[in-house]
Amino acid sequence: AAAPKEAAAPAASAGYTAKPHANLAEVMRAITFPGSNTIFDAQTKDPGAAQKETSRETTTEKFASLYGGWQQVELASIMLMETANLMVVPGRLCQNGRPVPLDREDFQKGIKGLIDAGEQALKAAKAKNVDQIVDASGAVAEACSACHGVYRDVDIPGPGQRERCTPPPAK
């Protein structure tokens, strides 16, 4: 018998075209920062351990229990990988109003590192393995540092200002 054919992926809808609704810093703060910190926390707070019951008075407390434990770490890992997709949406700008430097090799390497780190963290979370999470946290930190060291944590010569998302001038 012939092997069944895989269905083709549906074509993109003609009704909506992806467009950025936030600058890169806002995307990082809204998605990547909480996701990466969830993974970092899993190094020292076993997500599978019983969690203390809270009053559930705040929105964060109320909804944190819905997808908690290891599933929360899995979802955080997915958030990191999906951030890579959001970074390349056409028209995305940096906080300084300049285009995201997608044409730079180091930026592309950073995006790939974010995806790889997310995949490693997802595998560790699915295995419910704290030791693997420690390793994955290192990969997440390295992926973040790859871009932050070039685009965020550098001072650009000038009147004491930092311009995020701007590579330093050539020496």
The residues facing 99 across adjacent strands are 93
So what's the pLDDT on residue 61?
56
C-alpha triplet 106, 131, 75: angle, nearest 5°: 65
Q: Is the pLDDT of residue 157 over 60?
A: no
Q: What is the pLDDT of residues 95-149, one digit of tens each?
A: 888 899 999 998 999 999 999 999 999 999 999 999 999 999 999 999 998 888 8
Burial class of 110 by CB neighbour count within 10 A (0 to 12, 13 to 18, 19+): buried
Q: What is the pLDDT of residues 31-40, one digit of tens each?
A: 999 899 999 9
Global confidence as pTM: 0.77
The C-alpha atoms of residue 60 and residue 105 are separated, in whole angstroms, by: 38
The C-alpha atoms of residue 115 and residue 95 are separated, in whole angstroms, by: 22
So what's the pLDDT on residue 16?
84
The C-alpha atoms of residue 51 and residue 68 are separated, in whole angstroms, by: 9
Give the pLDDT mean for 16-21: 89
